[in-house]
Amino acid sequence: MRTSRVLALGLTALVLVGACTSGATPTPAAASPGTGASAPASAPASAPASEGPKVSVRIGSDNFYESKLVGEIYAQVLENAGYPVERKFGLGSRQQRIPTMDAGQVDLVPEYVGSGLGFYDKTKITGDGQKNADALQAALNAANKNITVLAIAPGTDTNAFAVRPDTATQFSLSKMSDLAAHQADLKWGLPSDCDTNALCAGALKEYGLTYPPAKRTALDACSVPMATALQGKAIDVAEFCSTQPAIAQFGFVVLADDKQTQPAENLAPLVRNDYLAKVDKDAFSALLNAASAKITTEELTKMGVSVDVDHKDVGEVAKAFLQAAGLIK
């Protein structure tokens, strides 16, 4: 799920490991907090390289393939413009990755703005990606994180609960509200941190769902084991991610979130302000915003198939995407 994001797969069981490393003493930030996330970029297909300093940038990611893929997209765009890049992908879940960035061990990470906001203030999350990004910036400022949220991508990848087609037919399931009357008859596949996760336990409770321990299997959200367990009938309800290839591969039925418990999860780069103070901030941001503007939900899904179904290298998939978008040659 995007709040823990222990979010890769094989031809018979694929998934997006997803939404959403402890560090040393935080490094003081040299720049003032960001003033807010901007709207999706409408930059030209190829953003110009900056004439300012090209300081090495350390790019991190969570430990699932989509986060690594988006991190790689940002890395290649910056490398193409002359920035040396150090990749520090697979830092762990958000709970591990945030302290790493706070400690100044990475300068830039891709974030899902809904779950990112929920980490700081779950009361502010909405179904509007830009509102979530703006509220995330405000939360980061209030927490003295000295991090700037750049432009959101149009692409979004939300938490999704799914069942097999036979289960949907047997119990007439099409939306989350339908589960309440049959919850005692169902076996649940949920992440181990569900009980403390507002977008898991909190969402299920809004539907009156209690998932008793005897009927629950702890599995990473959006993981290969989750898809395998659902397909193999070890569980009946699974938590996935909306761009996950396994959904289409196995024909799983995604239940409509009729109470709108899940936030918009548009992707955006988070950048430390002390790094932005070392470079031409506008030119650096323009490069990333131009890349984000091309990351649609459709492209995320297509790239997910390339990585987790076709087993292509993340770097090759990112390069092909950027070349097709006209952002690199």
SS3 letters for 52-88?
CCCCCEEEECCCCHHHHHHHHHHHHHHHHCCCCEEEE
Residue 144 and residue 32: Cα distance in Å, rounded?
Answer: 9
Where do the CATH 3.40.190.10 domains begin and end in the chain? 57-156+263-324
What pLDDT does residue 166 have? 98
Q: Contact, 118 vs 136, CB < 8 A?
A: no
| pTM, rounded to two decimals | 0.76
Helix axes 65-80, 281-292, angle to 10 degrees: 130
Helix (H) or strand (E) holding 185: none
Residue 195 and residue 12: Cα distance in Å, rounded?
Answer: 30
Q: What CATH number does the domain located at 57-156+263-324 have?
A: 3.40.190.10
Per-residue pLDDT of the chain (329 residues; tens, 9 = 90+): 454 433 333 333 333 333 433 333 333 333 333 444 444 443 444 444 445 789 999 999 998 889 999 999 999 999 999 999 999 999 988 888 999 999 999 999 999 999 999 889 988 999 999 999 999 999 999 999 999 999 999 999 998 999 999 999 999 999 999 999 999 999 999 988 888 888 888 899 999 998 888 899 999 877 788 999 999 999 999 998 898 888 988 999 999 999 989 999 999 999 999 999 999 999 999 999 999 999 999 999 999 889 877 889 999 999 999 999 999 99
Backbone angles phi, psi at 250, to 5 degrees: -105, 0
Residue from 67, 46, 68, 69 nearest 115 by CA: 67
What pLDDT does residue 51 have? 59
What lies within 8 Å, CB to CB, of 295 at 6+ separation is 70, 73, 153, 154, 155, 267
Residue 7 and residue 63: Cα distance in Å, rounded?
Answer: 7
Maximum C-alpha span of the chain: 63
Q: Contact, 184 vs 158, CB < 8 A?
A: no
What lies within 8 Å, CB to CB, of 225 at 6+ separation is 13, 219
In the three-class reduction of DSSP (H, G, I as helix; E, B as strand; rest coil), residue 270 is classed as strand
Q: Are strands 108-112 and 85-88 parallel, antiparallel or unpaired?
A: unpaired
What pLDDT does residue 268 have? 98
What pLDDT does residue 47 have? 45
Confirm or reject CATH 3.40.50.2300 for domain 159-254, answering yes or no: no
One-letter identity of residue 182: H
| Residue 182 exposed, middle or buried by CB count within 10 Å (0-12, 13-18, 19+) | middle
Q: How far is CA 228 from CA 234, 239, 275, 325, in A?
A: 8, 12, 42, 34
Residue 158 and residue 109: Cα distance in Å, rounded?
Answer: 18
Where do the CATH 3.40.190.120 domains begin and end in the chain? 159-254
